[in-house]
Chains A and B, each alone.
Chain A
Amino acid sequence: MADELMADIEEKTPRPVEAVPAGNPKKDDSEKIAVATQWQLMWWRFRKHKLAMIGTIVLVLFYLVSFGADFLAYVDPEESEAQRSLMAPQPIHWFDEGGFRPYVHPQIGRRDPITFKRVYVPDIKVKVPVEFFSHGFPYKFLGFIPMDIHFLGVKNARPAETLFLFGTDMQGRDIWSRLMYGTRTSMTIGLVSVAMSLLLGITLGGFSGYFGGIMDAIVQRIIEILRSIPTIPLWMGLAAALPSSWSVNQIYFAITVIISLIGWTELARVVRGRFISLRQEDFIMAAEILGCSKPRIIFRHMVPSFVSHIIAATTLAIPAMIISETSLSFLGLGLRPPAISWGVLLQDAQNIQALVISPWLLIPSIPIIIAVLAFNFMGDGIRDAADPYG
């Protein structure tokens, strides 16, 4: 009962206006459509979904940032300096002397004699020219190509001392550069956890849906129980159990496992539902009568007809995983410094007093919202495109 209702909730999201069926094209296209593969039809339908296309482009950009985090950062994310703590974002002045000559003013920091707060004033007399593709801190591009070229830099000065696109945090670390690295961590953690959930979901959901009977009943009860447990206390408990001696990579892996341990239920439900509805289709019956082996029926006949649905469900599952990681890290139970993720960055914003004085600490929340929205739009688009009757 509850499962069917859940299925109701899943399947019935508003269909977009643009999703005109692809079977309704101009006349000279009809031949093309008749011979198009299922994937081509889906792509054509997906293309018409404007929000989904925008979401896809945004996500491509996000993953490009993940790849080129070191290139886009201009300061080593760990470089801290108490003398530069909590600096406000400084704009780049793009035009000078009637031409395109970007520059920044250096900042002079001093302590306010009355409030003892550090205040910074730009030194208007000095202009530090900003250059593109400049040399900066060394890194390994894609993890193995040694490089020191960065997208932004300043001529004859250290960017750490002059360039503050998004300001600095409590320890004087550059927020822009840290955000680039945080994007890499948070965007990949979503992918890795969803891959793991998918593995669990497809295996258990597939077994449960294809074989039915006791197997199905057991898996369904497990899913029902897992779904009725509030996840955050469970995650908090699991995450708090991670030994503090673990390395950044071990913690990263453990967090993905924790998130996917609970996240698989939704995917298993979708897979099971598809299996059950397909099992009754005539072409499966025909394959069985013709004596096809079980693996052949599953992988040759059933899987291709629901892959698109799985892709849609997967895409829609990623944002929840990203939010989970962010929430856990925000609580201090997920990724821990020196790891950098969106949640870790937002930990600095936990202190409301600090936040009121330096609102730029909230900047890392913007990419979270944009990424989650983009995944939702793209997932909705894929789901609509995958539905031949949509």
Chain B
Amino acid sequence: MLLEIKELSVEFQSIQGKLQALKNVSFSMDEGEIIGVVGESGSGKSVTALSILGLLEKNAKITQGSVFYKGKDVLRLGRKEQQQLRGKEIGMVFQEPMTALHPTMRIGDQLAGVIKRHRQVSSKEAAQLAIRSLAEVHIDHPELVAGKYPFELSGGMRQRVVIALAMSAPPTLLIADEPTTALDVTIQDEILKLMKELSVKRGTAIMFITHDLGVVARLCNRVIVMYAGEVMETGITSDVLHRPAHPYTRALIGALPDWADPNEPLSAIPGETPNLFNRPAGCVFADRCPQALPLCREDRPALEAYQDNQEHRVACWVR
């Protein structure tokens, strides 16, 4: 097992009080696996990633749980060790590529800098490796692009560069938080293919955080469905998408206009996401759930195997 998250809970301290952003989140990842963490805004998917990376803001507090990376609890590591882990073992790609790029440094120099930090190579070799890594993310004329500044590139190109940067170490785990959301559909497609290819070629595990079930279907072996800071359902992608066990997952798939008959209204989820300052006692989805039982409002269901499939787990009383 590469990564194991156990009962992770995170709280934000804000003016309005304490907000529980994550509650008892548990899941694990194997080496080389591509896992999708899917959820809407406020589901806690990004907070999960930031907790693993040790990048939570100051007002956030991990109140409970542990994150084991290769058997080591990363939450108990010092700042410096965490930083080292981020540089060497765990790569990151975020939605906005400009945040990861130095605005006034040439692309080639940025890449060469990272490569030199991780490998014993001369500057000349590093420059060459930089060009090669640009070629690996399918950038045409990598020598030319290496001499450019970030602002001279398009959004898709920048995201490729960021992936090249993240992969140059190369990492064992890549955490990608909505890396294609800001990109055009056709470019999004290419980036997804690229990530899959790199994962297969290098054996890199990818945690892909997204709101887009379509992206999950195309890229991920397994999927974690999150809602309001809790894991609702996990399993092999095709299992979860074909036979969604949780009413929330079903609703999410049903709300997509992809198959809908234009003459019929879309099946939308009624209501609003719950107030995370004051969590309900029972299931967080109960208020919006068409199948909710009285029990659902009283007791929180645990994540348990669905129809005896140990891989496919769901947190729901209505099974």
A, B in one complex: no
| Residues of chain B whose beta carbon lies under 8 Å from any beta carbon of chain A | none
